[in-house]
Amino acid sequence: MHPTTQLLENARERVTFPTEELTKLIYVNDEIYETFMKAQKIIANEPTIRNHPDYHNWSRKQQIIKSYEKLRIMHQHFNLANAVHWAPLLSIFQGTTPTAVSFAMTVPALRFLGTDEQFNLWGPKFLTMEIVAAYAQTEIGHGSDVQNLETTATYDPQSNDFVLHTPSVSAVKFWPGELGFLSNYALVYAKLIFNGKNKGVHPFMVQIRDNSTHKPLRGVTVGDIGPKLGYSTKDNGYLAFDNYRIPLNSMLARYVRIENGQFSRHGNEKISYASMMVSRQLIIFIYPRMAAQALTVAIRYSITRQQFTNDKREENSVIEYQTQQDKLLPRLATCYGMIFAGIRIMQLVDDNFHRVQKKDFSTLQQSHAILSAIKAFSSQWVVDTTEWCRLSCGGHGYAHYSGIPAVYFDTAPNVTLEGENQVMYLQVARYLLKVLQYAEKTPEKVPFYFSFVLHVKETLANKDQNTSLGHWLKLTLTIQLIQVGKRIKDLMNTGKTFQQIWNEHVGIHLMSLAQRYAEYFIYLVFQEYIANANPSVKEILQQLCDLYCVQTILDNPNTLIESGQITQEQLKAFNELKIELFAKIKPQAIGLVEAFNFNDNALRTCIGCHDGKPYEYIYDWATKENSVNKVPQAVIDLMGTKIKAKL
């Protein structure tokens, strides 16, 4: 057996829990798991779409063409209108998945905001891909500030239709995915002008390209914005309208409509939150699994990579070094918490989705707050974790052949898209302050995952410090919430307006508060999963949860220190506990990452393969799969030129 293969096999033999039990938790149900495994197999075995070692030498055009070839083939095997079928592709494709925006954003918005008649008109055409529609909200001049979008849709009572117009460069739609050249429709968000009055921003289903020629229609300017950091195969686009007429039924009319020349509203205006929830939920559900890919590569490589000798004059696997464990094991622990949180949020959003369809908005705000908190927290965590995985692989981590840089580029945009993280956190903080008021006046309105506000006095008494590590997360969150609430009240007593206080005086505190809530929510869900897990994996899951809590406490101890709630001895004990947990989790690390069951093709790696052999695969890819080694004529011409140089 090859020496590095033997190192991995030895590590696998030390795992003491059944990995298949964790696999069941990770993939929720048989349909999701079987679809994921089938997709991995198809992509690995189909020569025209399998992940290619030379991919990052290709031009952007070549990469885009290949992504559409993959989509065409995968469409033959799966129902890509079903998120269970196409969502796994996001983590195992090279490049982004075409039509993901259309299915994950536009279709849910159409379902939530359109009438039954409108959904029956357009919905079936999405399923057959007769329609691919971009979600055209963001403009050059405005992103998160939706209420100040500039594109206008002016109602014309004479012709009973709308005139869609882009009044300035800053009003041009900019960044929507699949707008550049794939979409033939767009869900355009524009200010409705009715009888000369601004009736707010509303969505309009707009055809932008000819069904036969795919060329832009008259009055429409549309195209691709160019290369970006990551998402190289996603055709993020620009879109402008020149007094472009669209029919009356273009406006999604479940909650806002124009009938007989009269404008009316129906239902909850915040329903637009519900449609955005679907895409944010997918970010939370899918992308921590891409961090798991990076962790799989880094941990396997850390076992097979041997550097420096020990007392027996044998080279150590770098995973044996405490500094390497410190890079990877806390992030591995958090990864499991993120995965479980993503699953729970999927369930919460699904429940909210069904309630909203029945015009029950009772869970809308809490679902939005939880989703916003974890979207912001997890998206940044995935990027940070991927970077630490890259660093843990030394020089080889820099190379695309490690598979890790691709994960970074594929996940970095999520920090900004589908709700910029800072804006998300501020919305969470606003809701936390609201539930604090509920606790004081109408405690029955406090949702379960915010029930910590009902026990403020007990938490601040700090009597549970020896019973639960999660207590310290709840204590930190509670202190920050009380402090920021008091700070706002004190500043309002000085005559400052709420908006002034919010924008100029407490922004940093609000951000920190929302982050602490995200950490606490992950802990709560972690504990739920441990309670319901198979007994054979309860111990390792509790160790992971404990490491997650300890690392979280040590990363943000200032609140506890400044409030006098923690002593130096307790902080020292947390550091010692962290090291103890390293010793317990390190032998299980290979089992923890391999429970995800990524095949080598999905990992896109030559340093983290299942059978080891990193050096052989590195050399093989460099010498046989690197098209740049075919020396271009320009190099030959240059070297043949006589140049006079002065040194």
pLDDT tens digits along 496-505 = 999 999 999 9
- Active-site position among 150, 178, 418, 519: 418
Picking from 73, 608, 70, 624, the residue whose alpha carbon sits closest to that of residue 292 is 608
Does residue 418 have an active-site annotation? Answer: yes
Asked if 424 and 375 count as a contact pair (C-beta separation under 8 A), the reply is yes
pLDDT at 516 exceeding the cut of 80 = yes
Q: Say how many CA atoms lie within 13 Å of 504 toward its Cβ.
A: 8
pLDDT at 204 exceeding the cut of 70 = yes
Instruction: Give helix 3-13 / helix 272-304 axis angle, nearest 10°.
Output: 120
Other CB atoms within 10 Å distance of the CB of residue 591: 19
Band (pLDDT 50/70/90 cuts) for residue 308 is confident
Give 258-271 pLDDT, tens digit per residue: 998 899 988 766 66
Residues of the chain with pLDDT > 70, as a percent, come to 96
Asked if 547 and 584 count as a contact pair (C-beta separation under 8 A), the reply is no
Band (pLDDT 50/70/90 cuts) for residue 31 is confident
Asked if 88 and 35 count as a contact pair (C-beta separation under 8 A), the reply is yes
Domain range list for the chain: 129-266, 272-307+314-449+456-635
pLDDT at 640 exceeding the cut of 70 = no
CA distance 233 to 246: 30
Among the residue ranges 34-38, 518-522, 639-643, the one predicted with the least confidence is 639-643
User: What is the 8-class DSSP label of residue 575?
Assistant: H
Band (pLDDT 50/70/90 cuts) for residue 603 is very high
Give 597's contacts (C-beta < 8 A, 6+ positions apart): 23, 36, 37
| CATH code of domain 272-307+314-449+456-635 | 1.20.140.10
* Mean pLDDT (whole number) for 67-73: 85
pLDDT at 181 exceeding the cut of 80 = yes
pLDDT at 540 exceeding the cut of 90 = yes
pLDDT at 641: 64
pLDDT at 86 exceeding the cut of 70 = no
From the annotation, which residues make up the binding site for FAD? 138, 177
User: What is the 8-class DSSP label of residue 103?
Assistant: I
pLDDT at 268: 66
Compute the mean pLDDT over every residue in the chain, rounded to the nearest whole number.
91
Give 445-463 pLDDT, tens digit per residue: 999 999 999 999 999 987 6
User: What is the 8-class DSSP label of residue 216?
Assistant: B
Asked if 358 and 364 count as a contact pair (C-beta separation under 8 A), the reply is no
pLDDT at 73 exceeding the cut of 90 = no
CA distance 308 to 303: 14
Give 198: exposed, middle or buried? Use CB within 10 Å, 0-12, 13-18, 19+.
exposed
pTM (2 d.p.): 0.92
Band (pLDDT 50/70/90 cuts) for residue 255 is confident
* Mean pLDDT (whole number) for 97-115: 88
Asked if 375 and 195 count as a contact pair (C-beta separation under 8 A), the reply is no
CA distance 131 to 178: 12
CA distance 79 to 92: 17
CA distance 392 to 328: 8
Residues of the chain with pLDDT > 90, as a percent, come to 72
Task: Dig out the tokens for 95 from the structure.
Answer: 């490049």
Contacts of 52-61 with CB under 8 Å at 24 or more apart are 52/94, 52/625, 53/401, 53/606, 53/621, 53/625, 53/626, 54/625, 54/626, 54/627, 55/94, 55/95, 55/400, 55/604, 56/400, 56/406, 57/626, 57/627, 57/628, 60/227, 60/232, 60/233
What CATH architecture applies to the domain 129-266? Answer: Beta Barrel (2.40)
Give 327-358 pLDDT, tens digit per residue: 999 999 999 999 999 999 999 988 888 887 78
pLDDT at 329: 98
Band (pLDDT 50/70/90 cuts) for residue 465 is low
